[in-house]
Amino acid sequence: MSAPVAIRGDGVGIELTRDVVRGVRLSSSAPARLVAAAEVPIASGGGDRAIVDALVRLRAELGDPRTPTRVAVFPPGSTSSRVDATGLTGNDLSRRRSELADSTKALSSVLLDDGPRRWLIGVRWDDNEIRRLEVLTERAAFIDVSVDPSPLALARVLDRTITRVRRDASTDQSFAAVISHGVAVAAAAIDSIGRMTPGLSCNDATTSVGWFDDVSEPAELAAEIRRLTDDGPPIECHLELAGESYPDYPAHDLRSPQRQCVALGAAVGAAGLAGRLRPVDIMLPAVIASPELERPWAIERMSNLPKADEPRTIGPLKRLVSKVLPRRR
């Protein structure tokens, strides 16, 4: 069986939450790019097996795609913020990642190009949980799987005039983000008490994005984002799919923006329709040994036997005499 060939415009986007998984499939040959959309609930209390089962059913609903896949996730407690990384390469970029991890505890980061600017998006979440979800998606037979923070995926398909957005993905799983020209400046998972799911709320009020440059505390970041997103009346959210306006399907339709907005953004990234995208880079925490820690394996006795005597050899004079005189038999 030959390996599948990736074609620009073909991709799968998945929004993975605690109790539901949504997905869309894009194709370059389809008139409106959208080929299929699906939504599958996750059985409660089933653990990893329930997630894999839901992903397998989702893949079947999407027509068993053999194209690159991006999984958008943003669990409760997650936050993200950006720092300027324009012109940084090599060691400078690695040093910037380390500084970001020290100041905000964000071990995950992703580089994002915005015209002549380059941003380093630091994501603070449970890195082990993110890797587990990526492995489970691959176990469900999706190929070329990579993880996407949900706010970054959503920002790809929002209208450029939108500056604040709130996404209610499922029960007890919502996030809000501040956006500038299609780039998520900062985002935080917030509570979803009293909200209908799935839901999408947008605002185009003017926002000072520079204020978030000095905020590193996750609780303060989430509180400020929540205040901004709740300030002012919401407007109608319009999505753009690779430069084309996305149809406003009714809310009950599986293709509606309220249901598939995040999955559509992930699919646009997987299909290569949003410029150059890089995978999320997760820094492994350094293991520092305690000075009081004993290391019995550093110097170890290999044997208790006494040292063997070296074999006796003849001197140079005896060696010369043995060559001249014949040996006695």
Q: Give how far the C-alpha of residue 206 lies from the chain's centroid of Cα atoms, to the nearest Å.
A: 29
The domain defined by 11-279 folds into Nucleotidyltransferase; domain 5 (3.30.420)
What was the pLDDT predicted at 279? 82
Q: What ranges do the domains of the chain cover?
A: 11-279
E-assigned strands of the chain?
Answer: 11-16, 20-26, 34-41, 68-73, 79-84, 108-114, 117-124, 143-149, 164-170, 173-180, 183-190, 199-203, 240-241, 244-245, 281-282
pLDDT tens, position by position, 275-300: 777 888 887 654 434 445 455 555 55
Cα 234 to Cα 250: distance, rounded to the nearest angstrom: 18
pLDDT tens, position by position, 175-202: 999 998 888 999 999 988 888 889 999 9
For residues 205 and 275, the model is more confident at: 205
What was the pLDDT predicted at 198? 94
CB 197 within 8 A of CB 85: no
Tell me the pTM: 0.82
What was the pLDDT predicted at 288? 39
What was the pLDDT predicted at 4? 60
Out of 45-59, 76-90, 113-127, 213-227, pick the least confident. Answer: 213-227
What was the pLDDT predicted at 68? 95
Q: Is the predicted pLDDT of residue 91 greater than 70, yes or no?
A: yes
